[in-house]
Chain A
Amino acid sequence: MSDHSSHGSGLAHQFDDLDQQLDATTLGMWLFLAQEIMFFGGLFAAYTIYRNWHPEAFAEASHHLDIKLGGFNTVVLIFSSLTMALGVRAAQMGKNKAVFNYLFATFMLGNVFLVVKAFEYHHKWVEGLIPGPWFRFEGSTDPAVQMFFNLYFAMTGMHALHMIIGGGLLIYFMVQARKNRYHEGYYGPVEIMGLYWHFVDIVWIFLFPLLYLLGLHNS
């Protein structure tokens, strides 16, 4: 990356100046996020259609998700978005030490989320709620119950994969902050990282009520 920069300012040779570079990278990231919206949108569409066909089975299956853990993770993820936003702010002011600290906080909060998620998955496994030949469910015999768990694992699994990728990216940006790479004119990469992280947060903001809170009022 630094091979193409002039005098360590972070400017790639195809751009006139740092402002133009930031505009182009921000636009590019939003185009990437637009296709991410379509990708998760397909999963949400599948969820909506199956839920409309089998509302009772979905509500009953939803009871088997732990609302406390899901709610805790929601708070953790929104808090990580706050630290991410503060990290971008620190990069804008060229405070590399603060950038490192905020990104580290974001990284740790992301890990807390994933550890809680792992405990939830493990619990589902013990309960026999993994779709497939060993699936067992006390209560409704509607096969749509299994479809709910298919969608649950597909949606939260893809979300968790995005979190893991985000964590890896955060390590890279923490190293860059340690090298004092960022200054008032060059903070774009941290801002792009922030866009990705906030997007993953938004996906969870929709997943939490749709998956966890679905059948709460019947319980």
Chain B
Amino acid sequence: MSGHVTSKKIYFAVFGALMILTAITVGVATLDLGQLNTVVALAVAGCKATVVIWYFMEVRHARPLTKLTVVGGILWLVIMLILLFTDYISRDWMAGPQAW
């Protein structure tokens, strides 16, 4: 894994892509898309994060174990968020005494 030197062009291209995506986020935020505003904002932010992880953090040249750790880190976040949100969303679904 060591010794792979990425050309400067790729880093500059990645920077350009991130600038374009930032402009898209701001542009889309001025439109009223209802619930979709947040979805689009998070999708664009997710794209930006993926580009940073893949190119700037050089995960594309990392060992399989490192890649697995990166995916694992994101997966654990998803597990935490799903468990939290399913709890908050479903709290009022069951009729019954408000004991606690």
Contacts and interface: CB of A to CB of B under 8 A. Distances in A.
B99 interface: no
A209 B42 contact: yes
A48 B29 CA distance: 18
Interface size class of B (residues with CB under 8 A): 35 or more
Nearest to A217: B32
B73 A30 contact: yes
B15 A216 contact: no
Interface string B17-51: 01100100110011111000100011011001100
A216 B33 CA distance: 11
Interface in B49-77: 49, 52-53, 55-58, 62-63, 65-66, 69-70, 72-74, 76-77
B3 A205 contact: no
B77 to A, nearest CB: 4
B98 to A, nearest CB: 18
B77 A27 contact: no
- Where chain A touches its partner, the secondary structure class is helix
Given A34-B69, A67-B26, A184-B3, A195 B52 contact: no
A19 B69 contact: no
A216 B57 contact: no
A118 interface: no
A208 interface: yes
A96 interface: no
B22 A45 contact: no
Contact of B65 (A18, A27, A75, A88): A27
Contacts of A18: 2
A85 B56 contact: yes
Contacts of A75: 19, 22
A208 B66 contact: no
Contacts of A184: 3
8 contacts: A23-B1, A38-B77, A78-B19, A88-B58, A92-B5, A198-B53, A205-B48, A206-B45
Given A34-B73, A205-B49, A216-B30, 19 more contacts: A27-B65, A30-B73, A38-B77, A41-B81, A49-B84, A52-B88, A71-B22, A75-B22, A79-B15, A81-B56, A82-B56, A86-B11, A88-B58, A89-B11, A194-B56, A198-B52, A198-B57, A217-B29, A217-B37
